[in-house]
Amino acid sequence: MVRKVLTIGIMSGEEFRARTMAIARGEYTPKRGEPKIWFESLQSMAQVLSEDNQRLLEVISEKKPASLKELSQLTGRKTSNLSRTLKTMNHFGLVALEKEKKTVRPVVKATDFKLNFRIGAHPR
């Protein structure tokens, strides 16, 4: 299995908006290795990357289900629950939801995560 490391950052919504505006104005250029995915708090990251969701990512990565229905059968989770969880993970860039004919195939975008944050100061 090919391992891809994804760097995650923690930054308040206000700081994230200011950073985004600085990028848009050309005042700030993100540096290589900076997080591409940002959470507002450790708590919000912990919700999205809970133990259950980590197991879900592992199943998707290893079994490569062709549809949400197949993933539901592999995990025992309801399709509606999986759909909501995967949409959230897709929003944060953790999975891709590839539409194929009448189905949606989940694809894990990273297998390893690196957390990047510091207390009191965030890149702008």
pLDDT given for residue 117 in this prediction: 78
Tokens 């990273």, residue located: 110
What's the predicted TM-score (pTM) here? 0.82
What total number of domains does the chain contain? 1
Is 77 part of any domain? yes
Is 34 part of any domain? yes
pLDDT given for residue 25 in this prediction: 96
Is 122 part of any domain? no
Tokens encoding 55 = 């197991």
Confidence of residue 122 (pLDDT cuts 50, 70, 90): very low
The predicted-structure confidence for 69-102, as pLDDT tens digits, reads as follows 999 999 999 999 999 999 999 999 999 999 988 8
Is 21 part of any domain? yes
Is 102 part of any domain? yes
Is 36 part of any domain? yes
The predicted-structure confidence for 16-26, as pLDDT tens digits, reads as follows 899 999 999 99
CA distances from 77 to 56, 84, 119 (A): 10, 11, 37
Is 23 part of any domain? yes
Is pLDDT above 50 for 63?
Answer: yes
The predicted-structure confidence for 22-54, as pLDDT tens digits, reads as follows 999 999 999 988 998 899 989 999 999 999 999
Is 29 part of any domain? yes
CA distances from 19 to 12, 36, 37, 38, 92 (A): 10, 12, 13, 11, 17
Domain of 93, in residue numbers: 5-116
- Write the CATH number for 87: 1.10.10.10
What is the residue-averaged pLDDT of the chain?
A: 89
